[in-house]
A and B are shown apart, each in its own frame.
Chain A
Amino acid sequence: GAVVSQHPSWVICKSGTSVKIECRSLDFQATTMFWYRQFPKQSLMLMATSNEGSKATYEQGVEKDKFLINHASLTLSTLTVTSAHPEDSSFYICSARERRRGNSPLHFGNGTRLTVT
């Protein structure tokens, strides 16, 4: 079945540094990928929609200059958390849907646990 790979699985960084998270669709093409954030014991909140070849669409309250999204190809989207702060510590999950399968479920990556010290 369709697989979405996220890397890294976990990362610890110092305040003020930037962290890049990659999301790849391994066996299908995805014109659109989605980035979610999940705080401990909470639900998933959509942060932004990543569109191949164009600018990402951010949800209300998400700073686009802080969470940089690049969707350079049909199989890769990246999320860069710039100047990270401890409050950015969270579980980040990407998702994608197969381009040609209209009713297929979204496939989720394994997530990236970010800890900012």
Chain B
Amino acid sequence: ELKVEQNPLFLSMQEGKNYTIYCNYSTTSDRLYWYRQDPGKSLESLFVLLSNGAVKQEGRLMASLDTKARLSTLHITAAVHDLSATYFCAVDPNNAGNMLTFGGGTRLMVKP
């Protein structure tokens, strides 16, 4: 059974600080996704990582994938309040771009 573990589950940080969210998974996969969810809302796609060593950046967020270590990271640079949300990583165990197994989520709160 595929397990996807995120840590931390909750993160409170000051604006302007940097931090990294980790996503470990238990089976081989070359596809990993990061999503953002605001309270009461659905999921917004942030990054699609499709190969070992993939690195993508959008604004203050940067995601990377190490398939050998079965690890993805989401790095936050100079956090701002608008980044407050819950972030999920999700793994595609079949490498088919279809059904996903989600991590437990990291609830990020950025304090002004």
- Interface, chain A (partner B; CB < 8 A): 6, 32, 34, 41-46, 49, 93, 95, 97, 102-111, 113
Contact = CB atoms under 8 A, between A and B. Distances in A.
Interface residues of B, number: 21
Given A93-B43, A105-B45, A111-B42, A46 B101 contact: yes
Contact of B99 (A34, A93, A104, A111): A34
B104 A43 contact: yes
Q: In this complex, which of B41, B97, B101, B104 has the most chain A Cβ atoms within 10 angstroms of its Cβ?
A: B97
B105 A34 contact: no
A46 B107 CA distance: 20
A24 to B, nearest CB: 14
A54 to B, nearest CB: 15
A82 B98 CA distance: 26
Interface in B58-112: 88, 97-105, 107
A43 B103 CA distance: 7
Interface in B32-69: 33, 35, 40-45, 48, 50
B48 A110 contact: no
Nearest to A4: B42
A52 to B, nearest CB: 13
A49 B45 contact: no
Contacts of B104: 42-43
21 contacts: A32-B98, A34-B98, A34-B99, A41-B107, A42-B105, A43-B102, A43-B105, A45-B102, A102-B97, A103-B48, A103-B50, A103-B97, A105-B33, A105-B48, A106-B33, A106-B45, A106-B98, A106-B100, A108-B45, A111-B42, A113-B40
